[in-house]
Amino acid sequence: MTYRHSSLHFSRISHFAAALALALAPTLALSQQAAAPAAAPEAAAVSATAIDGRTQVGALATVPAPNLTAKAWLTMDVNSGQIIASLNPNEPVEPASLTKLMAAYLVFDALENKRLTLEQAVTVSERAWKTEGSRMFIKPNSQVTVDELLQGVIVQSGNDATVALAEAVAGSENAFVSLMNDEAARQGLKDTHFTNSPGLPDPTHLTTARDLAVLAQNLITRFPQYLHYYSQKEYTYNKIKQNNRNRLLWTDPTVDGLKTGHTQSAGYCLVATAVRDGRRVLSVVVGSTSDSARSENSLKLLNWSFQNFDTVKLFDDTKPAVTARVWEGQIDSVGLGSQGATWVTVPRGQSAQVQPVAQYAQPLVAPLKKGDRVGTVSLSLDGKVLREEPLYVLQDVPEAGFFGRIYDKILLMFE
């Protein structure tokens, strides 16, 4: 670990008694001065999945990314949140039925917050029934459960089912679309704008490969209890059986999602994800020329990402990233680290070369509370920053007694 702060000089103070005598005169004033630590530096507003200012680890690999036939693509390690490699990640694209990832996200949120239940019956409106495009074939004024509609949305990609759920959550599709855009803003999807819930073509209904990856990562990590819908290969409703359009569910047993999309203007799109040896990777492919091409492109990205990169845990809330000196506390040092596990993705075999660099407020002055944010730690490889994480105090540090505080104040005078 490298630390960027002033070195602490604990040289023996041979004339400590004299210094103490000099210091005793202003003791009262010193004891009344604010002893709060210096303000923590504000972390740059860059998420773990950001591209600008952060090196995509694929650029450091000896095996280059595969050549793909797609308008835009991206591959991400879900454990670390790092984008491994991408092409045109911020280019505006039509999401088509990939829009249903956001629609499902909001339905899952409603289920978790008890605004809906899986067994709840939804009355199908005329508007939902008339929705054009791919269908679940629900009938107007019929009663369909939320569970059935979710299978209609995710497995069958039914636009009619999507609108029916949108109305169940928000009262109308227009209100639901407003929720979709609000949630996109909350997740930092700065280049995403929705105009409808199923993903029907519209000039302003746009997103990016990067935003789709962030949305998919958030859906996977927040709602693992609902991921089984995405690995379901078929669903029969109203005596009509439809297969999941994600071909990879049949060709690779490690693939368990997520969603296909297609319109004439958007091309063939797929957000795919797989788990191998406890590590999850997702890929985003937008604008492929055919159904088979999007599947082939996605599988190439998944295989390359698994075969050429490792993801390792560096530290967590029990293993500090750095041990820092504390002044005027009942203990002299405290661990600084992350509030959860911090993973990093690197080219295979290079995890030992990762260099953490900590930047935190100096001096750290007690009292400190567990969870106080005091700085950041950046993780670099070959001088390239891969990701940056906030640093938090990992345990409470109560203030020392009167003489302990005075002793540290004197030491700081010689700092």
Bridge partners for 272 per DSSP: 258, 283
Cα–Cα distances (Å) from 119 to 122, 227, 296, in that order, read 9, 18, 37
d(CA 134, CA 261): 10
Q: Tell me which of 71, 80, 86, 97 is the catalytic residue.
A: 97
Pair type for strands 322-327 and 333-337: antiparallel
Q: Which of 71, 100, 259, 409 is catalytic?
A: 100
Going by DSSP bridges, is the β-strand pair 309-315/279-288 parallel, antiparallel, or unpaired? unpaired
Strands (E), 264-330: 267-276, 279-288, 309-315, 322-327
Which two three-digit tokens encode residue 245? 């359009």
Whether residue 283 lies in the annotated active site: no
Active site residue 157: yes
Q: What secondary structure letter does DSSP report for 93? A: B
Cβ-contact 168, 147 below 8 angstroms: no
Instruction: Examine the residue annotation and report whether 265 is marked as an active-site residue of this protein.
Output: no
Strand partners, 145: 121
Catalytic residue, candidates 86, 134, 157, 338: 157
Closest CA to 79 of 270, 286, 305, 295: 305
SS3 71: coil
Q: Which residue has the tokens 């700081």?
A: 412
What gap in Å lies between CA 390 and CA 377, rounded to an integer?
A: 6
- List residues with catalytic annotation: 97, 100, 157
